[in-house]
Structure formats: structure tokens, C-alpha cells
Amino acid sequence: MGLLGNVVRVLGKTDFTVDVVGIDLLKLLKLPVFSAGGRIKTNRDNFIAIIYEYAGFQTGKAIHSSAQTEDFDLCVDEKSVKVGGSQSIKTRNGYVIPLDIKNGLSYIPICLFLDQEWYYLPRVVLTSDKEWYPCALDHNLTTDVALFDAKQNLTPEEQPFQLLGSPSTNMIELMRMILNQIIQRRSFVLCKPYMPSG
């Protein structure tokens, strides 16, 4: 669930409250749940982003939950363009909202809209107006049987290690081939192993 921050305008309040637990068990208890809006830029123009089901912690930047946005069928790609991502959110109707990445965290550049902007700027909805549960997308992939079945379907040639952790014959042959190529490219002086006299 997102947190409002002080960069959006409250549009409505629900009858619900939530407890938010964060890093080092920081607790924000009984926060009211709001809907809000803020001005954003998209690939087409300025819009008012409407966000529902956000906890009312109205200090600092808004914190958006990519899971909450994705659960509303928006495509969120927080991956930096520096590593092949699009660093954006794509809405249902094709708008692209750019994200800024600072210190490894992604942000939606959002600010308070002016009174007159409410009447002429188009609106785009980023989250559902239905009650949202943060556990809605929970899934333990580490216990997913299909993940382990896929690994067992590898052919012996594709498996770099045998079951007991020792390199497979295929891996040993690959290592020998690489070592031979290195030896052919360089001249090495082979030394006898050191044996202590005694």
C-alpha cells in the first residue's frame, strides 16, 4: 500500500485504517486510508494522477507500491535504462509515466496540482478504488515445485554440476579446453612442486 506524502492533494477518505510496519520494525499505527491526486508528466502531456487506497502519512515524498499499481493491470518497469529497463509505468490506455531513480530507488515525479488544473488537465488512474490488501500478490517462489521441475528437466550436458556438487564430466572437459587454450597462448615455465626437505 502506498503512502501519501505531502506532494499530493487529498480527494477523499475511507472509513478504514491500516498499520504500516517498515524497516527495523518502524510502526505507523492506525493510519487513515485516502484517495488523492497529483500532477505528473506522461509521454503525452501533464495529467492528474488519481491514486486510491493510500495510507495517510502526509510527510515527505509519496511512496508508491509497484505491487498495488501492477494489481491494477498497469505495467511497472522500475529497472533503470542504464541496465536495459524502461524506467516507467505504462497505463491501460497507453500513457507512459517516466520514473526517476535516485540512490537505487524509483520515484514518480509528482506534485500538487493547482485548483484550475483540476478542471482542464486529463486524469489517469494508477490504483484501484476497491479495498486493496498488500498480500494480494504474495507468492513463495522458493517453494514452487515448477521451478525445481524445470531444473530437473535439464539434459546432462546442460547441467554444470552433478548432484553432489562436484563438476560434471562436461564441465571438467570445458575447463580442460579453456586451460589448454590459455597454455597455447602463453609460455609457461613448469615448476616442480615445493617439497620441504627433511
Per-residue pLDDT at 144 exceeds 90: no
Nearest to 86 by CA among 71, 75, 94: 75
Cα 14 from chain centre = 28
70 burial type by CB count under 10 A (0-12 exposed, 13-18 middle, 19+ buried)? middle
Domain range summary for the chain, segments of one domain joined by +: 9-137, 139-192
Predicted confidence (pLDDT) per residue in 84-98, tens digit? 999 999 998 889 999
Residue 122's pLDDT band (boundaries 50, 70, 90)?
very high
Cell representation of residue 113: 496540482
Report which of residues 38 and 196 the model is more confident about: 38
What pLDDT sits at residue 16?
86
DSSP tag of 7: S
Mean pLDDT confidence for 130-146? 78
What pLDDT sits at residue 55?
83
